[in-house]
């Protein structure tokens, strides 16, 4: 999924999260990890796509209003401020993750790197050509993992060094997979139900990718699920319905949220299987769906749209890092 509505400034000094997230220690001092490596799409990309397309006419996310709040300039993030991955890094006391591609051959990446690319898909584009006879000209998970392995071979050569480095790292594997489905959701000459046919294949590719990073030495892997995409503005505007029964009590499209739940249920089953196969590894399901649903339930607690966006991302970061580090966390807002 690739939504561009993100964070803005908030007047509160501290964001108090709902009962399950009300927390009392700052993760910045927990020292859980020395670095973060992340994979995914526009939800996570901190500048790789902008670098890849630097010689093309500028477009999202390389032009204003992207980046206008926190960075005060476009940074290649599909956001007007920070992404969820930025909140993770700051909560762990780490610098914001640099995009990997600009320094793939030279960067030391002492605190990690971001391999995610705007618009990326989980499956290889050849899958869609062979099965549905259409081309998706975009990056895929195969390319991100290949780049990751090149970087590891350079900054931590040899199996022992690689395993040591990854054992001290948090790997954030996604969210990814949403863009594999979007063709059917926005091209209304095709049935959107077609996307259901290959959810298992998307999940299998994600699972295989997680196993790849575990085989390399990762000991903690966070695997986020999909959002309730029926609540995302681009899906609402691109699939307008004036039938009240198509919407839930929050105004979200039921069909799309049910689709996300199907994806997430299979992903949770895949994670359960991976846990049984890798007993010494901590594999965490990042329940973005539940947190965004909580956000919609408590949306009235925010008095502006900007506050709502900030709360949503702070909620995601605080919940997931609570699960990853095993500590309770209070999200302290610095500004924007």
Q: What is the pLDDT of residues 19-68, one digit of tens each?
A: 223 233 334 445 689 999 999 999 999 999 999 999 888 878 889 988 89
- Distance of CA 66 to CAs 2, 33, 58, 150, 229, Å? 14, 29, 12, 30, 21
Domains of the chain: 14-332 (3.40.50.1110)
Query: Is 38 in a helix, a strand, or coil?
Result: strand
CB neighbour list of residue 162: distance below 8 Å, 6 or more residues apart: 152, 153, 156, 216, 217
pLDDT at residue 18 is higher than 50: no
Question: 155-204, pLDDT tens digit by residue?
Answer: 999 999 999 999 999 999 999 999 999 989 988 888 999 999 999 999 99
Residue ranges in 195-304 assigned as alpha helix (H)? 199-216, 233-238, 254-277, 288-297
3-state helix, strand, coil in the chain (%, to 5): 45, 10, 45
Query: Is 87 in a helix, a strand, or coil?
Result: helix
**Which pTM does this prediction carry?**
0.84
Q: What is the pLDDT of residue 307?
A: 53
- Distance of CA 319 to CAs 20, 145, 153, Å? 8, 26, 33
* Banded model confidence at residue 9, pLDDT cuts 50, 70, 90: very low
Residue 112: beta bridge partners?
36
Q: What does R_g of the chain's alpha carbons equal in angstroms?
A: 19
């Amino acid at each position: 999924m690739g939504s561009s509505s993100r964070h803005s400034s908030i007047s509160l000094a501290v964001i108090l999260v709902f009962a399950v997230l009300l927390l009392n220690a700052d993760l910045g001092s927990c020292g859980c990890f020395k670095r973060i490596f992340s994979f995914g799409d526009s939800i996570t990309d901190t500048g790789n796509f902008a670098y890849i397309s630097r010689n093309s006419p500028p477009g999202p996310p390389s032009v204003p209003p992207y980046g206008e709040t926190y960075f005060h300039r476009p940074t290649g993030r599909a956001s007007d401020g920070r992404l969820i991955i930025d909140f993770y890094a700051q909560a762990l006391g780490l610098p914001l993750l640099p995009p990997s591609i600009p320094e793939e051959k030279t960067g030391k990446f002492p605190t990690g790197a971001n391999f995610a690319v705007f618009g990326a898909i989980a499956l290889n584009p050849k899958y869609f050509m062979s099965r549905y006879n259409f081309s998706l000209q975009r990056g895929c998970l195969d390319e991100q993992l290949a780049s990751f392995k090149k970087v590891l071979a350079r900054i931590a050569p040899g199996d022992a060094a690689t395993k040591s480095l990854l054992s001290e790292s948090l790997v954030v594997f996604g969210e990814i997979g949403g863009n594999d489905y979007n063709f059917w959701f926005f091209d209304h000459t095709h049935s959107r139900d077609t996307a259901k046919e290959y959810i298992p294949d998307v999940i299998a590719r994600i699972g295989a990718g997680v196993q790849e990073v575990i085989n390399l030495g990762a000991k903690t892997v966070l695997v986020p699920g999909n959002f309730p995409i029926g609540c995302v503005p681009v899906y609402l505007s691109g699939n307008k319905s004036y039938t009240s029964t198509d919407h839930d009590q929050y105004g979200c499209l039921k069909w799309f949220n049910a689709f996300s739940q199907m994806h997430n249920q299979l992903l949770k089953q895949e994670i359960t299987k991976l846990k049984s196969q890798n007993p010494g590894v901590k594999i965490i399901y990042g329940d973005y769906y539940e947190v965004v649903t909580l956000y919609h339930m408590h949306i009235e607690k925010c008095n502006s749209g900007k506050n709502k966006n900030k709360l949503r991302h702070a909620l995601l970061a605080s919940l997931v890092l609570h699960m990853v580090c095993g500590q309770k966390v209070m999200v302290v807002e610095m500004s924007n």
